[in-house]
Amino acid sequence: MATIHFSQVCKTFGEVTAVDRLDLTIADGEFTVFVGPSGCGKTTSLRMLAGLDEVTSGRIFIDERDVTHEQPKARDMAMVFQNYALYPHMTVAENIGFALKLRRLGRAEVAEQVSRAAEMLDIAHLLQRRPKELSGGQRQRVAVCRAIVRNPKVFLFDEPLSNLDPQLRTSARGEIRALQRRLGVTSVYVTHDQIEAMTMADRIVIMRDGKVQQIGTPVEIFERPANTFVAGFIGNPPMNILPLAALGKAAGLSPQLAGVDQSETMIGIRPEHVSFVSVSSAATIARVVQIEMIGTECLVHAEIGAERIIARVVRPLAPRIDETVGLAWPDDEIHLFDASSGRRMGQNLRLSA
């Protein structure tokens, strides 16, 4: 049980700033996901929290204690690594029990705790095997088991599912989350996969180039992205982001958009909110250039002049390629961003209320 607090934490490697002034408080028992493209500083942040990387400046607190310069050993955290990092020369039982053994627990007590943790993860039958005799999914379970057996203050996960095949990944993320809820241990989880972030997190921290872009619940981040980067990163396919001027007279028609400087504004519309209407009644006209079938729905790529927009519609509603169509969207589902800074704007709009 622990709260975590990052205060103005920076990390530089030579000239490169990997993490830039990270400020974040994670509540006791919270499951926080760091997400972003590779090189955004999310793994570095996790490693600094773990004590595996030195902090360049700033402080890290666990509960009220300053742990900035403490060894990993003193922080009482357990970590699950991307490639599991199981000790190849040890059996599964020895892998799980290694930390307990280092704490000088008696042989019997280690064995008992190991088997209890192994049962929780359904790997009790694998205890005498070596890591190389296990499948990827089994190794992943052993890695998680090694983390929970110590009953630490904090769990750290560094892309623990990225080496699994997609089906296994879906079930594993549910299991990890259920396990964490049951144990109630504060967790920090790093991933580049926005689906994992959205499905697992209590709170998401989106990073890019070492800077935090937005911190919020999955719903907040999806409904009110703080800037064009977040808007484009979360959601699949990503939000359409176009210069407001490209929409032609549609921009002028919407009462919400009155008084907005068209040349300085980007408009964001999620593909699922775009619908097709007859050309005569439409404010925005587009030409269909590509259609991708993805199951019940399809993705329709259309061009408005030089700009491209993607609509996600159920298959019977899809137009044909080369067809000219009218586009429409609910007024309260649009997002406005400042063209130069990319920041969300228009606090007076209903959608931001």
Judged by CB under 8 A, the residue of 52, 111, 245, 351 near other proteins is 52
Structure-token pair, residue 5: 């607090």
Binding flag, residue 99, other proteins (CB under 8 A): yes
To the nearest whole angstrom, how small is the minimum distance from the Cβ of residue 86 to other proteins? 8
Q: Which helix (H) or strand (E) holds 7?
A: strand 4-13
Cα 75 to chain centroid, rounded: 25
Pairing of strands 307-314, 297-304: antiparallel
Judged by CB under 8 A, the residue of 6, 31, 34, 98 near other proteins is 98
Binding flag, residue 78, other proteins (CB under 8 A): yes
Binding flag, residue 71, other proteins (CB under 8 A): yes
> How many residues touch other proteins (CB under 8 A)?
25
Residues 326-345, one symbol each (x = binds other proteins by CB under 8 A, - = not), give --------------------
- Which of the ranges 25-33, 50-58, 193-201, 220-228 carries the binding residues for other proteins, by CB under 8 A? 50-58
Spatial separation of the C-alpha atoms in residues 295 and 315, rounded to whole Å: 8
Total length of the chain: 353
Judged by CB under 8 A, the residue of 49, 67, 77, 198 near other proteins is 77
To the nearest whole angstrom, how small is the minimum distance from the Cβ of residue 146 to other proteins? 8
Binding flag, residue 16, other proteins (CB under 8 A): no
Q: Please classify residue 146 by burial: count the beta carbons closer than 10 Å to its beta carbon, then call 0-12 exposed, 13-18 middle and 19+ buried.
A: buried
Q: What angle do CA 83, 85, 91 make, to 5 degrees?
A: 125
Which residues, numbered 152-191, are part of the site for other proteins (CB under 8 A)? Answer: 156
Which residue, 142 or 251, has its beta carbon nearer to other proteins? 142
Structure-token pair, residue 69: 């310069």
Which residue, 123 or 318, has its beta carbon nearer to other proteins? 123
Spatial separation of the C-alpha atoms in residues 30 and 218, rounded to whole Å: 13
Q: Does residue 27 contact residue 3 with C-beta atoms inside 8 Å? A: yes
